[in-house]
Structure 1
């Protein structure tokens, strides 16, 4: 029995002993008060007190020993079941033996389940590896040949054929991005990829994400402004957090018109570091704000834009796995703001 258990039972025994003493002394005092002081009654009362205390003390001690024995036996049963040792109680028809049998069965089932889960993870890992390997070369070839066709398009290909070549290249790039995103997501969900969150300046993750969307934003003449103190830190995995921020910023650029603006601001609060990514894009209807983080969900207003609806889902999974969360607010026709909350400590 551990120290906490012993302390608890000792308190119970002490309270029981005090109550017994008070009752016996009170009962004896009441008798003496009722019949008056008499030597014979006094001696009988003393003898009664002694007998009660001896019998009560023996009962309490016996109960304490029995409870301690049962608890120690349970400790041995649990330790033996966890460590795979021989049965402590054998196969006796007792309550403790029945409990030991059920505990062993439960541990066996849990162990079997854990092994199945681990085997399934290994299968998924192999499947993801196979998909990544088997699709990499064909996609690379498609992109390469479409680029070669595009380079030679001015030397004999008609306008329609040139359009087909452009579409092939665009769809190949889209398919490659989708496969890579699904692979990342699968690895993240199955625990193949482990996120290592440490306290780092948040400006580095923001800058890395911005660098990935800057060319696209510049092409659309979209202004990107960053308001972040270099001293602001958060507990996060820089690689994966920048991936999540990139997915949000990529949407901001994609769904903003030419000459739009994107504003990125960070502030440190007591528990969380907050990163706000605001844009002047098409906005999101309030009825869809709860759905935009679902896998493959796309807003009705985005049907004319390229996309598959996995970026925000992946971003949320990455942030949630670090103990953070994402919130969104928007006004249709004016823009959206995505707020990323990361733990400070």
Structure 2
């Protein structure tokens, strides 16, 4: 009986060992299969990455080619025609952004070319105007110099010619002085230094410069200006403004006329009004009187070169001020000079 039980026990142990071996082999097979599957997945993933990278690189290279070709075409068109191809403002791509920047550069270059062309035209016009203004007094002076060289010229004619010659030289000196002022202002050689100063002092100095001219024509000048009134201005150059406007008022006002000066102040500006009882300015000429070398049809018989009011406008502009005109033919003119308070 004992032998029988021992045999059964041994048989059960052997069977269990066989099962353990079989299960172990199956586990190993499963592990090997799982490992092989993982390796296969890794290989497939690497292949997919390589293929995807290749496609992306190819796409990027194609985009770069399109980008370069488009930029080249735009640059070529800018060089040949000064303009760009039409671009889409709704795309948010590198090409669109680059084209936008290139468009801005094109616009900037276009503006610079236009300004350069305008400057060249202004320079040509200025040279032509100066040549025209200088030519007349020089030609007249040469004519009278030739006449004065005649031996049989009477003393009366000689004195008359000398007087005319002196007038032509004075006119030429006046012209050159104003041209010098104009050129120095335009190129910035003279920089204005506006300060808050009393208006009465600047106005008084300008009146002193033109007082003799007013007395010669028996023109009365009245002034209303409170002593404490101040404004932002450069004393020297603003004095030039007052002197030019007053000189014109005297020049175009008949004998025994009147010139009134009043100074008032508002929130932003101190306003100097200079009114005369002169010949006035036609309405269609008022916008032109501040142009360089412009002279109205009804004043061409008067001495002048047409620079004074141009200088007035430029000086006031540099001081952040401006000038306006109200005029009626036969009744006179009123020039309102606006100077900034601060």
Normalising by structure 1, we get a TM-score of 0.56
**Counterpart selection for 1:300 from 279, 286, 297:** 297
Q: Secondary structure at the match of 1:206?
A: helix
- 1:320 aligned residue (317, 338, 342): 317
What is residue 243 of structure 1 aligned with on the other side? Answer: 240
Matches within 5 A, 1:178-189: 178-189=175-186
- 1:165 aligned to 2:162? yes
State the Cα distance separating 1:168 from its structure 2 match: 1.1
In the alignment, the residues of structure 1 paired with residue 233 and residue 154 of structure 2 have an alpha-carbon distance, to the nearest angstrom, of 51
Determine the structure 2 residue equivalent to 1:226: 223
Give 1:26's aligned residue: none
Aligned residue number for residue 260 of structure 1? 257
Note closer, same or farther for the CA distance 1:343–1:172 as it changes in structure 2 (3 Å cut). Answer: same
CA deviation profile, 1:23-73 (whole Å, cap 9, x unmatched): xxxxxxxxxxxxxxxxxxxxxxxxxxxxxxxxxxxxxxxxxxxxxxxxxxx
The one-character-per-residue Cα deviations of 1:98-127 (angstroms, maximum 9, x if unpaired) are x99x99xx99xx9xxxxxxxxxxxxx9xxx
Shift of 1:159: 2.1
Pairing 1:288–2:285 present? yes
Deviation at 1:272, TM superposition (A): 0.3
Partners of 1:316 and 1:207 in 2: CA distance: 21
Q: In terms of Rg, which structure is larger?
A: 2
Q: Does 1:199 align with 2:182?
A: no
1:143-158 pair list within 5 angstroms: 158=155
Displacement over 3 Å in runs of 4+ = none
> Partners of 1:194 and 1:226 in 2: how far apart?
30
Match of 2:273 in 1: 276
The residue aligned with 1:338 is: 335
Q: Any stretches of 5+ residues in structure 2 without a counterpart?
A: 1-92, 109-122, 124-133
TM-score computed with the length of structure 2 as normaliser: 0.57
List runs of 5+ in structure 1 lacking aligned partners: 1-94, 111-123, 125-134, 150-155
- Aligned mates of 2:251, 2:197 — CA distance in 1: 29
Cα deviations across residues 192-251 of structure 1 (Å, max 9, x unaligned)?
Answer: 110000000011111111111100110111101111001111000010000011011000
